[in-house]
A and B are shown apart, each in its own frame.
Chain A
Amino acid sequence: QQQVKQSPQSLIVQKGGISIINCAYENTAFDYFPWYQQFPGKGPALLIAIRPDVSEKKEGRFTISFNKSAKQFSLHIMDSQPGDSATYFCAACPYGQNFVFGPGTRLSVLP
């Protein structure tokens, strides 16, 4: 029940295209859903996050879509750039405590 599933494992997108990564969870106690971006040799860094009281959140080229009834959320990267090439992790957190992470998606944006 603690698991967060994430797909795809890897993703190759052309520059200017849309990157979409999907996650699913089971635990209804989760109330915070962040996405982290990790570059090689660095720690993960918070990219964007959403609470379950809204269905979508947009920050620049990054959008989270959230479907509470389906227990799914996704990250959309519009106009993908080579600098977006990184590993992306979705996560879920109940009541500001323990984070549960998905297995990650390695995104490559081709120039």
Chain B
Amino acid sequence: EAQVTQNPRYLITVTGKKLTVTCSQNMNHEYMSWYRQDPGLGLRQIYYSMNVEVTDKGDVPEGYKVSRKEKRNFPLILESPSPNQTSLYFCASHRASFPDTQYFGPGTRLTVL
């Protein structure tokens, strides 16, 4: 079954405590993205990767890091989380040049106290 998985699904943490949200896809997609979803703002892209070792900033990259060492994995790192990073996060992937193949993960709800 084609899928994008994210872990954890829910996370409550405190300001400044480093955390990583994992994302993995089993479709051999080149393109992977991280989005955050906030009420009234829709989905905003944080970072994206066009292939292994190729990453770039999206619209709201401040406070986040990513890496793409393997094609299937694209972890999101918050090195010093702050309350304004409380949000719902989605990972997505698609085949390069075939945007109709985009799949989203189930989401990670993060609360930073």
Q: Say which residue of B42, B48, B99, B106 sits within 8 Å of A34 (CB atoms).
A: B99
B67 interface hit (Cβ, 8 Å): no
Q: How many A-B residue pairs have CB under 8 A?
A: 63
Interface range on chain B (Cβ under 8 Å from partner): 20 to 34
Assuming the contacts A2-B59, A42-B106, asked whether A95 and B97 have C-beta atoms less than 8 A apart, the reply is: yes
A46 touches B102 (CB 8 A): yes
Q: Number of residues in A with C-beta < 8 Å to the partner?
A: 24
Q: Are B107 and A93 in contact (CB under 8 A)?
A: no
Determine if A89 and B42 form an interchain contact, defined as CB atoms under 8 angstroms apart.
Answer: yes
Q: Is the interface of B mostly helix, strand, loop or mixed?
A: strand
Interface flags for B21-60 (1: CB within 8 Å of A; 0: not) read 0000000000101010000111111001010000000110
Which A residues touch B14, using CB under 8 A?
none
Q: Kindly specify which of A58-66, A68-76, A78-86, A99-107 makes contact with the partner chain.
A: A99-107
Which residues of B are at the interface with A, using a C-beta cutoff of 8 A?
Answer: 4, 31, 33, 35, 40-45, 48, 50, 58-59, 90, 92, 94, 96-100, 102, 104-107
Besides the known contacts A32-B100, A103-B41, 14 further A-B residue pairs in the complex with CB atoms under 8 A apart: A6-B42, A43-B4, A43-B107, A44-B104, A45-B104, A89-B43, A93-B99, A96-B31, A96-B94, A97-B31, A99-B33, A100-B45, A101-B42, A103-B40
